[in-house]
Structure 1
Amino acid sequence: MITVVAFVTALLILVSLHELGHFWVARLCGIKVLRFSIGFGKPFWSRKKGDTEWALAPIPLGGYVKMVDTREGEVSEEDLPYAFDQQHPLKKIAVVVAGPLANLILAVLLYAFSFTMGVTELKPIVGMVLPDSIAARANFQAGDTIETVNGKMVKDWADANTALLFSMNDQSPVIQVKRAAGDTEQLRINIQSEKEAIDLLPKTNNIGIVPFRINTEIQRVLPDSAADRAGLQKDDVLIAVDQKPIADWFTWANLIRQSPGKELSLTFQRAGQEKTISIRPESRKENGQLMGIVGIEPKMDQAWDKKVRYTYQPTIVQAFDLAVSKTWGFAKLTVEFFGKMLTGKASLEYVSGPLAIADIAGKSIQISFSAYIEFLALVSISLGVLNLLPIPVLDGGHLVYYTIEWIRGKPLSLYVQEMGLRFGLMIMFGLMLLAFFNDFSRYFG
């Protein structure tokens, strides 16, 4: 229910503001607006105010502003001066740009609002390296500070992780790290030998490094689990399994996964004393394979968290400066992603649809209100940039049409415009199918 409410709220806010941008500028330019609709299909609620019908429709995948237009039906003589297609090209350009621009302005406002509540950043320091990962094979080590990726400076963990993911399509990404001991090293990732692991990146969004640390101390024992039945408790420290030392949490987790139904001898420490018990992991099927599970959660390393996490309170001016910088950075990154996708340098599996957006909406609102606000800002940027792409049927495609009309002094022929719109519809339909396919593969595959 939280996920559904968070998702619907996000759609209402983002789509409404986008369409309000079109509506407000259209009215400012003297264009008559017949309908303002959130959602597609037959409206289930509508109310007329002045010349405009305000409506809610059942398909929540967008919205539209319907203006008087001679291309869409007969227009009365008195309404001709207010028809969209009869306006100067610059007015048309202003109307189509207003929607995406509203999304980008909204993103700035949302980020600024979130930042005024305080900014929390993670330093680009590796907390743990996952065994048998791309990072492990590239010789990343816990405690490494990531300084540059392909010569580009990184300022925080999010920046470093994004740069690393985007570098996976280069011939041989070079990452400069500062070791915990203080010396600097250049690490290289062999793309050719990592193809199988790189194919999984759209699902994991991680090359095998995380900023946090978890230890072998138990934070929680799930009720009626194998661990609960064996007598494990909160604050117990795992030491060894079958007399083999547990170096870290990953060692323990991998061992348990590989031992479904197998009886193990577990040594742990409780209140300074070592104890040994027998534990039998339960069997669970994942992706057609049996995996072991015992039902415990580890503790975070609080001392490490304090080392890598820092929080500060910017002024309102600083918050807006940060918001503009963040919005510009993500907008630029989104354009780069589409460019890489078109040239085959980025996997199509990164394209996400409504299920992924709903999932992240639900998770972000459960983390914090600030996280949800920043999620809305990020989606608003994506919506704004996507609509500015020069694809007929999107605002960017119409922008191209009206710019050509402005330059040549007359609009393109209706045949050319209709063919372009059909082509655009095909592209968007294909992208929608791809997004839904990726979503279903990611969550149900």
Structure 2
Amino acid sequence: MDLIGSGFLTIFSFVFLISIVVVIHELGHYWAGRVCGVHAEAFSMGFGPTLFSWRDSRGTVWRVAALPLGGYVKFLGDAGAASEPDAGKLDQLRAQMGEAADRCYHFKPIWQRAFITAAGPIANFILAIFIFASLVLTLGNRELQPVVGAVVPESAAAAAGIEVGDRFVSIDGRDVNTFNDIMRMVISGGSSELDVVIERDGSQVPLQIIAQRNTVEDEFGGSRRLPQLGVQAYSDPIIGGVVQDSPAHSAGFESGDRIIAVDGVAVRSFQQFSNRIDGPAERVEVEILRDGETRIIRTDVGPPSEEPGTTSPAFTRLGLVSTGLMVDYRRFNPIEAVGYGVQQTGAVVSTTVDYVGNIVTGRASPELLNGPLGIATAAGQVAQRSIDGHDNAFNAARSLLINLINLAGVLSVGLGLVNLLPIPILDGGHLVYYAYEAVARRPLSMKAQALGFRVGLVFVLGMMLVATWNDLNYLLGQIF
């Protein structure tokens, strides 16, 4: 895809994601306000100049703005996001509003104000559950089994004694159900020691592993430093296909052959076989099992790929394709789908909280924090992966929509969590104010609120600077 097309796809994907998660967040505030009898003066979808607007029967002005990057809801009596009025300001406001004060946000009981404030993040969590549940209900779910197919030499996994065929059972007391769970838990764990339980030959083996921080390059030319164990997912050492006119085809390999050994060294997975032939040798001896009989096939090995790591050496150097990774496929009924949605949302929450906690304690680097640029980049990359390799526009568009909706679910959880941080300019900060008011039986003073706003603003700007720095480093790494 050319640069213009790629840029347009990135912008479209970013706007699509942000519009969904932010508008749903604000709708959460709006609907909670309606339940509590608070009048919403305006609801804006987007920012900037108004493209068109209308007023509903309740007097709320709904507007669609030129910059579709979120939105906001304005309740009666709102003066800004910086603070809540103190007792004196509330008395003045009530006198000015008269009977309309009954529909003003600031004069509602504490529990209602807290409910309206918390409703935005709650809406984000509900959206995530709905997205994850809907996807598995309509498409089913494919998950890689947490079985080791290869161990990278001199990696953390190799040092800990992990072997091909080991199945991960738990990490730090949390069950591992899929191979993606391993990556998620390792990244959130940072440089801390992980208590890992694996299953080997029917017995459970406890291990302690500290992940190594490695620079990982992606197919878009960028790189990130990530904690890694050094394990690959498992695929049976069975040939699924042979490329015509390849070295393997000339040597006589056939689909269904089970690979037993390479140059006399036994292999237990297709990844292990593939890694064994990715060396300087130009000819290898492969022992296979075909129709119940073992055979020896000697074959030439082609030159290494010019882009190492992007394709299996078994394919690029021999022309062999595996039967595929070990995948569990499952269909869900509606109740199971909702349970899965809750489980996935909880997993994202747990990973995020663990990662942030490890940043605070110094066990993880903040370099994985992303801002708007990072979100836009991720959206564009997901979109690019979605449309690559499809032979028609319908399949490409279907894949694009599914993957963007799934990413919206993850992003929605992140937005909900960020807004619950106890920082005054965020929803979580307002909830802290309400907690104080409930205990002290009076609002926090305007001076204290203003101070809290300034501290919160500095904290948020600091996080944005770190996230933007990370985003720019990644983007510059793609260029230089």
- TM-score, normalised to structure 1, is 0.76
Match of 2:133 in 1: 112
Question: Is 1:342 aligned to residue 350 of structure 2?
Answer: no
Greater CA drift, 272-281 or 107-116: 272-281
Distance 2:434 2:195 in 1: 44
- Cα deviation for residue 393 of structure 1 reads 0.7
Secondary structure in structure 1 of the residue aligned to 2:444 = coil
CA change 1:278–1:408 in 2 (3 A) is: closer
Q: Which amino acid in 2 is paired with 1:424? A: G
Distance 2:304 2:342 in 1: 54
CA change 1:405–1:151 in 2 (3 A) is: closer
CA change 1:127–1:312 in 2 (3 A) is: same
Match of 1:384 in 2: 416
Q: Which amino acid in 2 is paired with 1:379? A: L
Task: Check conservation: 1:130, 1:250, Cα contact below 8 A.
Answer: no
Task: Check conservation: 1:217, 1:235, Cα contact below 8 A.
Answer: no
Q: 1:188 aligns with which of 197, 208, 212?
A: 208
Secondary structure in structure 2 of the residue aligned to 1:173 = strand
Q: 1:175 aligns with which of 180, 196, 202?
A: 196
Q: Which amino acid in 1 is paired with 2:54? A: K
Question: Is 1:441 aligned to residue 463 of structure 2?
Answer: no
CA change 1:424–1:63 in 2 (3 A) is: farther
Q: Which amino acid in 2 is paired with 1:376? A: A
Q: 2:187 aligns with which of 147, 150, 165?
A: 165
CA change 1:334–1:136 in 2 (3 A) is: same
CA deviation vs aligned residue, 1:15-34 (integer Å, no higher than 9, x gap) = 11110111122233232323
CA change 1:167–1:430 in 2 (3 A) is: closer
Distance 2:250 2:11 in 1: 38
Distance 1:169 1:310 in 2: 30
Q: Which runs of 5+ in 1 are unaligned?
A: 222-230, 256-263, 285-292
Q: Which runs of 5+ in 2 are unaligned?
A: 1-7, 81-88, 218-222, 254-262, 266-271, 287-295, 388-398
Distance 1:187 1:135 in 2: 10
Matches within 5 A, 1:32-51: 32-40=39-47, 42-50=48-56, 51=59
Match of 1:399 in 2: 431
Matches within 5 A, 1:414-429: 414-429=446-461
Question: Is 1:322 aligned to residue 340 of structure 2?
Answer: yes
Distance 2:153 2:250 in 1: 24
Sequence identity percentage: 29
- Cα deviation for residue 168 of structure 1 reads 4.2
- Cα deviation for residue 79 of structure 1 reads 4.1
Greater CA drift, 63-72 or 383-392: 63-72
Question: Is 1:4 aligned to residue 11 of structure 2?
Answer: yes
Question: Is 1:96 aligned to residue 117 of structure 2?
Answer: yes
Task: Check conservation: 1:238, 1:267, Cα contact below 8 A.
Answer: no
Task: Check conservation: 1:124, 1:145, Cα contact below 8 A.
Answer: yes
Distance 1:67 1:7 in 2: 28
- Cα deviation for residue 167 of structure 1 reads 3.9
Secondary structure in structure 1 of the residue aligned to 2:154 = coil
Secondary structure in structure 1 of the residue aligned to 2:143 = strand
Task: Check conservation: 1:128, 1:213, Cα contact below 8 A.
Answer: no
CA deviation vs aligned residue, 1:16-60 (integer Å, no higher than 9, x gap) = 1110111122233232323323344x3352413143333345666
Q: Which amino acid in 2 is paired with 1:321? A: G
CA deviation vs aligned residue, 1:421-440 (integer Å, no higher than 9, x gap) = 11111111111121121122
Task: Check conservation: 2:17, 2:404, Cα contact below 8 A.
Answer: no
- Cα deviation for residue 102 of structure 1 reads 0.7
CA change 1:421–1:59 in 2 (3 A) is: farther
Secondary structure in structure 2 of the residue aligned to 1:188 = strand
Backbone CA RMSD of aligned residues? 4.1
Q: Which amino acid in 2 is paired with 1:316? A: P
- Alignment coverage as a number of residue pairs: 407
- Cα deviation for residue 343 of structure 1 reads 2.2
Distance 1:412 1:328 in 2: 33
Q: 1:128 aligns with which of 150, 154, 164?
A: 150
Task: Check conservation: 1:176, 1:186, Cα contact below 8 A.
Answer: yes
- TM-score, normalised to structure 2, is 0.71
Task: Check conservation: 2:51, 2:66, Cα contact below 8 A.
Answer: no
Match of 1:147 in 2: 169
Q: Which amino acid in 2 is paired with 1:132? A: E
CA deviation vs aligned residue, 1:324-382 (integer Å, no higher than 9, x gap) = 22223322332333222222232211212234433443454518454443322222111
Task: Check conservation: 2:214, 2:228, Cα contact below 8 A.
Answer: no
CA change 1:161–1:48 in 2 (3 A) is: same
